[in-house]
Structure 1
Amino acid sequence: MRAPAPLPMGEAFARLKQQVIERTGHFYYEDKDEVLWERVRKRLAAARSPSLDQYLERLADPDRGEAEWAALEAELTIGETYFFRYPEQFEALRRTILPDIFERRAESRRVRIWSAGCATGAEAYSVAILLHEMLGEALAGWRITILGSDINETFLAQAREARFGRWALRSLPPEQRDAWFTPEEGAWRLRPQYRSLVRFERGNLLDLLGPSPPLELVDFDLILCRNVMIYFHPAKMAEVAAALVARLTPEGWLLVGHAEPNPEFARFAAAVSLPGTVAYRPPDAETPAAPPPAWTPPVLPPAAELVIPAPAFAPAPLAPLAGQPPQTPTATPREPARAPASGDIVEEVRRRADVGDFRAAELSCREALEADPENPVLHFYAGLVEQALGRLASAEDSLRKAAYLDPGFVLAHYHLGVVRLARGRREAGRRAVAAAAQLAGTLTRDARLPEGAGLTAGELRELARVQLE
């Protein structure tokens, strides 16, 4: 097995990291030197640059620099996306946000929507599908444009192709997949009527903060900027969010990712609490009443992401905690043990996390764990909150403790595996996911899992199969 390349510690690497953060806003890399170096090394090899100093010269070159920056940004940016991600937000769009926009735009019949940080386009296309389903034949009488923008040119090229694998379609049942897509050599291409509403352009959100922000990015009825700002420094996140709100119409709407709400947003936006999510509007916007439901988009149980059959697999034993004997999953999962006094705390953590206040949820977990350090449920929620905040190493540690304290805690093993896979720990991640599937296999398919918010044992096994493919 090849040893990992040594991490450069010199001035050149520090300069490159600073330039990356300044150009992309990805403060995420401030303390992720190993991750950054692993991705930069790929570009050094492709550009045939023997040293970081020469690579920095290439990035600064007037003729070659922009092309190389585009290639490096393609390595650095994260493109995890799928159709109808965060179904509770699409439910808010269907029930409240889009009906409000339609009512206000009834005379002009003109609607402008921006998917900022669109990655490979699933979000923008999901909105297009939703508009078709809501308006039906009346859509022909509206002038609706959806702009998708991203810093990553590779993602944008894929978005324009509108061709997706099953991972991007993992939230869709077969009947909706077949209605909206046509099969094409192991993938699915979105049908033309949905593609026609969307155009894609390269754009960097930090340009909104520059001396000459793009003039065309104004008067949007709806902006979706989800799971982009989470990688920014908190101060920069607030600046970008303020710039986005400033580009809304006076009655426009902004949706951000669940982990991105920030108390600073109150300085320039009004928060609107909707079932399962929070939206933002210009301070003087009037909040509408929700109309009755007309169409139901795909809705997943919380924590579920996919139901796709896959071949059977053989679970592997769990890795033990450091200094502890190996653990084998119990034959029958049980309700995780919890101290009676912790029930209210768990509910408080859930409530805060549900509205995106992850830092307050984390504080509640820490306080509770000081009084009850061996409660697996508290460690489980601490891990989920840390995962939402992007602290994967801490999340892995918390989830591992939850699984150790209660070896039958199915979802602790599953999320532990997901976090390990996200950290690139493939074999350890697969072992934990396989253990979760093995535990779930001892239950009936319809059995609801503790702390799963409705997720069943059968659904968990299917999720695990996908992770293990």
Structure 2
Amino acid sequence: MSRGEPNGSPRLLAALSHKVLQHVGIDFSGPRRGDLLRRLQLLALERQITDFDSWVQQLAFADWDAAQVQSLIAAFTVGETYFRRDAEAFDWLARHHLAPLMARRRQEGRRHLRLWSAGCCTGEEAYGLLFLIDELLGGESADWSVELVASDINGAFLARAEQGVYGRNAFRSSEEDFRQRYFQAEGPQWRVRPAWRQRIRFVQYNLADGCLPPALADADLILCRNVLMYFSTGRALAAVRRLLGSLSADGILLLSAVEASLATQAGLVGSWAGCNYALAPAARQDVRVSSPAPSRALAAEPVVLGKAGPLYIKQNRGEARLPAPAASPAPAEQAAAESADAIRERRWQQVARAQASGLHEQVREALQAYLSCPGLSRSQQHQACLAMAQSWADQQRPEQAQEWLQRALALDSNSPKAYWLQALLAQQSGDLSLAQAALQKALYLDPEFILGYFLRARLLRAEGQARAGEKALQVCRQLLLAQDVASLVPQGDGLSCVQLLRLCDQLLEEPSGCPSH
């Protein structure tokens, strides 16, 4: 490869993605190489690097040591987390694992717990786990030895976690009582109260490393959620086995729902822990750690996505076929692979039938079962996470919808449907600037996204930008006129092209700045 190649050349990006995989474990191969390039461009912008081409080529040819990895890690790791994330999983932990474990330890006279938050980011999960343990122990806290280790590859994240200072974004719901109990205000920020500071040992560790430090062994609980989904399949499976080997005899490993298929692909049997997936150590793999999500009778006909259409229009419900996610190709002669494909297809059809019946709880149960299928591609996982986010959004549960939406975007950052849902959720919450930003991404990725232009027009008019709003409406009309007027608008939940055309005309006839509601 010549040193004069452009920074976006396939071979240069292939070399860089290989280095990231080798040293960090994160997979930027194939279609994700464009994402790698964008991340490096943002990092170069932050560092005010003027000659981006030379810098990227130096990275591709350099030998990366630990210092080099740390200097680049901000471009590859995600710092999006908050307190009480996946509250359903924490509730499950309290009832089904930690409380029974503590009861056994009391009877045995072993009042000791060892816990590990793996991939702890800026510490919200680790502190949340500490708060939960203290709540469960109540007045017994002084009689117990609780060792909580939190690890991350990103040294800057760990430094912030050790400070224990958090802004408003770390608290996603109305949690004033929670903040008052565990934090003290420091200007616009909140610091963990002294009673809980310095009780967590933060260590730097790369989950892609082949060896495990002794400090991270013999854990009664390991939380490793929304981390391995970024790894290549091989690295992720190896990490799962190392984590299982780090459990105590009665410990469990908790993965996110997206990562359940990694475990099943390795032949491991776990159970659903709220919205997460729990695995026992290898010696207990024949024993489930909890009852699986109940299966229910589902309707017979595979049809519709739930309300995928805009939240800002009163609509007639209609039917839109749910496409099965693209399956990973498997040789026809391999019966085991064919069987896995059949299981995936059957479970996806269960999702579709539950959606057709409008049974949101059953939709989510079916999606959880689907996500545990071995061998799911990133595209299939993305589609399932997006369907889960839509189900929560349909039930007016924006926090849960956002959680699954972020997982969907982590799996595919070039999904116009995901940004469309993000725009709808932001518009519903009144954050018009975020809605506009999400729409801009959706329309960049899909320039013929009809409803995107209609929503943009509505948002612009609401902000008093009548001329820009009219331009967006005109683009919407042009796209509609190119369609069969009787056809349905994509993502329109049964809205026909002719119906939307009439809505456009009504808006164009209204006085500027006075949108209808």
Interval containing the TM-score (normalised by the shorter chain):
0.5 to 0.7
Tell me how far apart the structure 2 counterparts of residues 191 and 216 of structure 1 sit (CA, whole Å). 26
The alignment covers a number of residue pairs equal to 376
**In the aligned structure 2, how far is the partner of 1:399 from the partner of 1:256?**
25
Q: What is the Cα deviation at residue 12 of structure 1? A: 4.0
Structure 1 residues 171 and 280, CA, compared in 2 at 3 Å: closer, same or farther?
Answer: farther
Check the 8 A contact 1:181/1:188 in 2, yes or no.
Answer: yes
Bigger mean CA offset, 388-397 vs 122-131: 388-397
For the residue of structure 2 that corresponds to 1:270, the secondary structure is coil
Q: Partner of 1:344 in structure 2?
A: 354
Q: SS in structure 1 opposite 2:82?
A: coil
Secondary structure of the corresponding residue to residue 261 of structure 1 = helix
Whether contact under 8 Å (1:79, 1:119) holds in the other structure is yes
| Alpha-carbon distance in structure 1 between the residues aligned to 2:181 and 2:414 | 42
1:147-158 to 2 correspondence within 5 Å?
147-158=149-160
For 1:227, what is the secondary structure of its paired residue? coil
| Aligned partner of 1:164 among 163, 166, 183 | 166
CA-based RMSD of the aligned residues comes to: 4.7
Task: Report the residue type matching 1:337 in the other structure.
Answer: G
Equivalent runs, 1:270-309 vs 2, <5 Å: 270-285=269-284
Letter in 2 for 1:67: A
* Counterpart code for 1:112: R
Report the CA distance between 1:358 and its aligned residue.
7.1
CA distance in 2, matches of 1:386, 1:180: 27
Q: 2:165·2:192 contact (CA, 8 Å) conserved in 1?
A: yes
Partner of 2:33: 33
**Does the CA-based 8 Å contact 1:414-1:432 persist in structure 2?**
no
- 1:190 is displaced (CA, Å) by 0.8
Query: Compared with structure 1, are the counterparts of its residues 69 and 277 closer, same or farther at alpha carbon in structure 2 (3 Å cutoff)?
Result: closer
Match of 2:141 among 134, 139, 143: 139
Matched with 2:235 is: 236
Alignment of 1:2-401 (within 5 A): 7-9=7-9, 11-28=11-28, 30-41=30-41, 43-44=43-44, 46=47, 50=51, 51-52=54-55, 55-56=58-59, 59-60=62-63, 65-106=65-106, 107-171=109-173, 173-207=175-209, 209=210, 212-262=211-261, 264-265=263-264, 267=266, 269-285=268-284, 329-330=312-313, 333-334=314-315, 336-338=317-319, 343-346=353-356, 347=359, 349-355=363-369, 357=371, 388=408, 390-392=410-412, 395-397=415-417, 400=420
Kindly provide the CA deviation profile for residues 391-426 of structure 1, in whole angstroms up to 9, marking residues without a partner as x. 4456423775x99xxxxx9669769x9899679939
- 108-117 vs 212-221, greater mean Cα deviation: 212-221
CA–CA distance in 2 between the matches of 1:162 and 1:423?
A: 35
| Alpha-carbon distance in structure 2 between the residues aligned to 1:105 and 1:59 | 52
Greater relative contact order structure (CA < 8 Å, 6+ sep): 1
Give distance in 2, aligned partners of 1:289 and 1:37.
Answer: 43
Q: Which runs of 5+ in 2 are unaligned?
A: 1-5, 292-308, 322-348, 384-389, 396-401, 445-451, 463-492, 494-517
The CA distance in 1 between the partners of 2:121 and 2:180, in whole Å, is 23
1:329 is displaced (CA, Å) by 4.4
Alignment of 1:425 onto 2:441: yes
Deviation per CA, 1:290-324: give whole Å up to 9, x if none.
9xxxxxxxxxxxxxxxxxxxxxxxxxxxxxx9xxx
Structure with larger Rg: 2
- TM-score, normalised to structure 2's length? 0.60
Which TM-score applies when normalising by structure 1? 0.66
CA distance in 1: counterparts of 2:171 and 2:121, whole angstroms: 15
CA positional deviation for 1:276: 4.1
Structure showing the higher helix proportion among its residues: 2
- Aligned equivalent of 1:309: none
* 1:192 aligned counterpart, secondary structure: coil
Q: Partners of 1:395 and 1:192 in 2: how far apart?
A: 43
Provide the C-alpha distance between the structure 1 equivalents of 2:253 and 2:31, rounded to a whole number of angstroms: 30
Contact 2:270/2:289 (<8 A) preserved: no
> What is the rounded CA distance, in whole Å, between the counterparts of 2:97 and 2:436 in structure 1?
36
